[in-house]
Amino acid sequence: MSLVGSQGILSATEILIAAAVFCLVFLLIQSFRQHVPKGLKRPPGPRGYPILGNVLELRKDPHLVLTKLSQKYGDVMEIKIGTRSVLVLSGLDTIKQALVKQGEEFMGRPDLHSFRQVTDGQSLTFSPDSGEVWKARRKLAQNALKTFSIAPSPTSSSTCLLEEHVSKEADYLVTKFLQVMEEEKSFDPYRYLVVSVANVICAVCFGRRYDHNNQELLNIVNVSHQFGDVAASGNPADFIPVLQYLPSRTMSLFKDFNKRFIRFQQNIVKEHYETFDKNNIRDITDSLIEQCLEKKMEANTVTQIPKEKIINLVNDLFGAGFDTVTTALSWSLMYLVTYPDIQKRIQEELDQTIGRERRPRLSDRGTLPYTEAFILEMFRHSSFMPFTIPHSTTRDTVLNGYYVPKDCCVFVNQWQVNHDEKLWKDPLVFNPERFLNAEGTEVNRVEGEKVLIFGLGKRKCIGESIARWQVFLFLSTLLQRLEFSVRGGKKVDMTPLYGLSMKHKRCEDFQTKLRFPTKSLN
């Protein structure tokens, strides 16, 4: 075998020698780059292949692979994806040390290829920026989300806006599920949950609700997995640059999803600008426009929002209030039909505490300990957010005695914490009672705080409290009125599908029936 080039003939042996020399030089360069200050050491980790690193090991279920590796190498571990070093954090204490106690040092975001596709790299959630402007705008977005969720409802003096929106959508779901049962005898609840949850955040952000057959909305919410498939931790194209130039259907769908999502929101923001009235702030978008206009005349203010950046904030708020809630509710229904005794116990608690004369309210959370314990166990056991969105270090630092350089990509393994045998007895068993006191009358808050699903520290999900409220209200309202089961005694498939948020396989065998005759609830 030989190759002919402009300089003559190269034998196969010479080509192999040249390749070996290249790899050796490359590895030497990498070792010089990884200079460690005297007295410190790099974190331990598995040896990978030249050029590829550990990418082949991470092809399937990275959260499980990295959990197993952490048992050998410890809570601070270094892997390689391609030629790039990635720090993997496990263990609740270690993660708290990094994200909370050393929060400023671990609050960055890595500059990844997929992140640059989200609102052109200007997303609050995915942007590498973590400076004063970013902090001010994040706080502004967080306050707007909170304000337009807990504000009093204009139609009821006893409820807040979020509660009213969720109650209306949950009532609609009850009606829709029963209607579908009459027509088709079974159904896939996800296809209806996803629109109702989207409608809640649309009401808060845009002041509007969409019909469940609105194609524009369906074209986004029904394919949201196209986003999570690429944005998940460990996507090889984020770490091996050559892959960015190869044809990829997954990346094409990801880019197309982002474009459609932005267009959808741009049209709404444009309408809001055209109808804006400073004396009638209708929703979060109006609130952000008001901030933009008010700060326009203030020089050098970090909270000033350029007009073109409003869409980025709206995008983040929509994302914070949509995917997590939809996924949580969908997993909840899967657990309820898998464990009918647990479903029955929740319903008994609802009957005894709330009765059948009124809807559940946010104020009922503290009086429904078993319902709350079920939600916590669903978060823990499913761990549908296996990793936080990747972090990066903002400067050279030391964690647990190991040197970590600036701009190091960091994976935070939430799945490992939620299944850590040091924290949980029989972690693979689904058992809501692990979160209750001995009498079963109160939720053990200390145990509940061990569950990681929304991240920790300065980059934790800005919609955490809103998401928890929605899951509670949707779930308690549905279970007060309906009983869920699976057709013909079939079992649902609980195998998670890896992504930014892990989904389960869709199931069209759900059935439901009314628990008591319908009537108007207060």
* Model confidence pLDDT, tens digit, residues 486-507: 998 788 999 999 988 999 999 9
Q: Does residue 302 register a pLDDT over 60? A: no
Fill in the amino acid letter for 470.
Q
For residue 374, pLDDT over 70 is answered with yes
Q: What is the pLDDT of residue 1?
A: 39
Q: Is residue 15 part of a domain?
A: no
Tokens of 403: 């040197």
16 located within any domain = no
Residue 25 within a domain: no
Taking every pair of C-alpha atoms in the chain, what is the biggest distance, in angstroms?
A: 90
Residues 6+ away with beta carbon under 8 Å from 31:
none
In-domain check, residue 19: no
% of the chain at pLDDT higher than 70 = 87
Residue 298 has pLDDT above 60, yes or no: no
Task: Report yes or no on 206 lying in a domain.
Answer: yes
- Summarised one tens digit per residue, pLDDT across range 153-179 is 666 655 688 899 999 999 999 999 999
pLDDT at residue 369 greater than cutoff 70 = yes
pLDDT reported for residue 17: 56
- Please give the pLDDT value at position 15: 43
Q: Which residues of 107-126 are buried (b: 16+ CB within 10 A; e: fewer)?
A: bbbbebbbbbbbbeebbbbb
Q: Which residues constitute the domain of residue 415?
A: 34-514
Per-residue pLDDT for 57 more than 80?
yes
Is 205 flagged in the annotation as binding?
Answer: no
pLDDT digits (tens, 9 = 90+) for 380-408: 999 999 999 999 999 999 999 999 999 99
Which pTM value belongs to this model?
A: 0.89
| Strand residue runs (E) in 228-288 | none
In a domain, 257, yes or no: yes
Count up the domains in the chain and report the number. 1
Higher pLDDT, 158 or 427: 427
- Of 35 and 520, the structure prediction assigns the larger pLDDT to 35
DSSP 153: P
- Taking 50 as the threshold, does the pLDDT of residue 421 lie above it? yes
Is the pLDDT at 301 greater than 70? The verdict is: no
* Mean pLDDT score of the chain: 86
SS3 21: helix
The CATH number of the domain holding residue 181 is 1.10.630.10
521 domain-assigned:
no
Q: Is residue 463 part of a domain?
A: yes
